[in-house]
Structure 1
Amino acid sequence: MEEQRLKELWQTYGSEKRFNYSKIKDRLGDNHSIVKFKADEPIVMRGDFPTYIYFIRSGVAIGIRDYEDGSEYDYFQLDETNGSIGLLETLAQKEEIIATITCLTEVTAVRVPSATVYQWIMQDLELLRLSANLLADDLYHRSGSDGLFYQLNGVDRLRYYLVEYYDKQVKSGDELVEIQEIREKIGHKLGMSVRTVGRSLKKLRDNKEIVSIDRKIYVGSNERQRLQKHLIRV
């Protein structure tokens, strides 16, 4: 009884978790700036004050953490569906951007003062619920993956990555999702050599856990199920 009641309340109050341009465009009117960035150009730098929130309209950006030894780690990707740069820091009331965000492709974004967006959120129950859903969902996934990821071997790390990539990129009606990251980038994210990534991809291809067409890698719903099935056994 209580389980059903909770599920009904989830439905009542909504489960939307994407805070993107579509959520604030009706509030903007003509009072906003459109900014454009070239590929490889940074949008924000780690340590910057979150003066503005950038809502991506087109293109792809990536979050990069750099370390004292000079190494870099690409650990998330942003586009028009989930691109709200500076929102996390604004909601957390932190004065420093947590990661450098740089452009993988040319990017067009709408720039809005963070104070304006923060005031909208605090004064609008719908936006406040959306923000809570977004942060709770992110925390849930991070809590579940921390520790587990580092116990996985090479091929299972790749399985985990592909499942996560598919779930984030798939859209209604998609039969296949193309994995657009190059092997070197995947290796950086997973702590694997390019050679290990290649061997793992071959194994997954032979097991029919991924689809290879014209040297491009794809994952569909059937492949996603096979990848997840092997991970459950770990």
Structure 2
Amino acid sequence: MECKYLYQVLPFLNEIDKKKRERFEEYFYSAPVWLMDSFQIVELDAGVVFVKENTPVDTIYIIGRGMIKATDYRIYGITYDFMRFEGVYAMGGMEVIMDLDRYCTTLETVTPCTIVKIAKEKYARWLNSDIRALKLEAKIMGHYLFEQGKNSRAFLFLQGADRLAFYLVETYTKYAKNGILYVDSTRQELSESSGLCVKTINRAVKKFEENGWITRKGSKFYIDSEQYRKMNAVVSELIER
């Protein structure tokens, strides 16, 4: 009954891919009706900041469709996008589990998004009364923190083009479709995602094209499966070394 009701309160589930539908079903498998009745669905355009770092935590956000990014502005005023999300992840859930009353990061839509909003009080009440839901959220949070820590350690030692190559390899593994990753980001966006200056990004993109690792298409480029294998082989060797 609960699974059918989930589709009633979140009708967009009928329009997204099967894998993501199944993640929603798993995440809210034991959710009570009173929680699902509290869901609010909002549609946001690309480029909308919907959470600001250090503002009070009052809402949990879960991505139904689209992609968002987490941004850090603290160090020397440099904008650094340290993580992008399009999976089923409770933005604000970490703060609830850790008893933090303010958001830890700034969140912005990268593409048009469908987002599920849940009041913090109701979400916390659910986790406090459902050990399965609490364990699942802790598992998802732990995986996210592990990935973030792994990438941060790699970025600590990689410089210039090597750092951008690492970022593109990671992005390919997550977002490539039918063996191809289309990189539509501007040079400034690549700069913010890798922590490199735009000038370094331009040099790296030129180098990658000369190496045959990417195929330019106007100001954008794409990476196919063979190009990914070449780039990944070099990045893997650097990491192992």
The partner residue of 2:53 within 46, 50, 54 is: 46
What is the TM-score normalised by the length of structure 2? Answer: 0.74
The reply on whether 1:141 has 2:175 as its aligned counterpart is no
The count of corresponding residues between Structure 1 and Structure 2 is 215
Contact 1:63–1:101 under 8 Å retained in 2: yes
* Unmatched tracts of structure 2, length 5 or more: 1-18
60-69 vs 185-194, greater mean Cα deviation: 60-69
Q: Which residue of the partner structure matches residue 90 of structure 1?
A: 96
Q: Which residue of the partner structure matches residue 11 of structure 1?
A: none
The CA deviation string for residues 71-129 of structure 1, in whole angstroms up to 9 with x for no partner, is 322222233x2453212212222111011112333333111122333343444454344
Structure 2 CA distance for aligned equivalents of residues 36 and 212 of structure 1: 33
222-231 vs 64-73, greater mean Cα deviation: 64-73
Q: CA deviation at 1:64?
A: 1.8
Contact 1:19–1:130 under 8 Å retained in 2: no
SS at structure 2 position matched to 1:57:
strand
Contact 1:50–1:96 under 8 Å retained in 2: yes
Q: Which residue of the partner structure matches residue 78 of structure 2?
A: 71
The reply on whether 1:107 has 2:113 as its aligned counterpart is yes
Q: CA deviation at 1:183?
A: 1.1
Change (3 A) 1:50 1:220: farther
Q: CA deviation at 1:68?
A: 6.8
The CA deviation string for residues 201-225 of structure 1, in whole angstroms up to 9 with x for no partner, is 1222222222334543223333332
Change (3 A) 1:123 1:220: farther
Structure 1 CA distance for aligned equivalents of residues 114 and 138 of structure 2: 27
The reply on whether 1:223 has 2:227 as its aligned counterpart is yes
Contact 2:216–2:222 under 8 Å retained in 1: yes
The CA deviation string for residues 132-184 of structure 1, in whole angstroms up to 9 with x for no partner, is 3323322333333334313212111011101111222245xx22121232111
Q: CA deviation at 1:38?
A: 3.6
Change (3 A) 1:126 1:180: farther
The partner residue of 1:160 within 160, 163, 166 is: 166
Structure 2 CA distance for aligned equivalents of residues 144 and 63 of structure 1: 16
Identity of aligned residues (%): 24
* Unmatched tracts of structure 1, length 5 or more: 1-15
User: What's the C-alpha RMSD, in Å, of the aligned pairs?
Assistant: 3.0
SS at structure 2 position matched to 1:112:
strand
1:54 partner amino acid: Y
The partner residue of 1:57 within 33, 55, 64 is: 64
What is the TM-score normalised by the length of structure 1? Answer: 0.76
Change (3 A) 1:95 1:131: same
Q: Which residue of the partner structure matches residue 192 of structure 1?
A: 196
Q: Which residue of the partner structure matches residue 42 of structure 2?
A: 35
Contact 2:176–2:182 under 8 Å retained in 1: no
SS at structure 2 position matched to 1:118:
helix
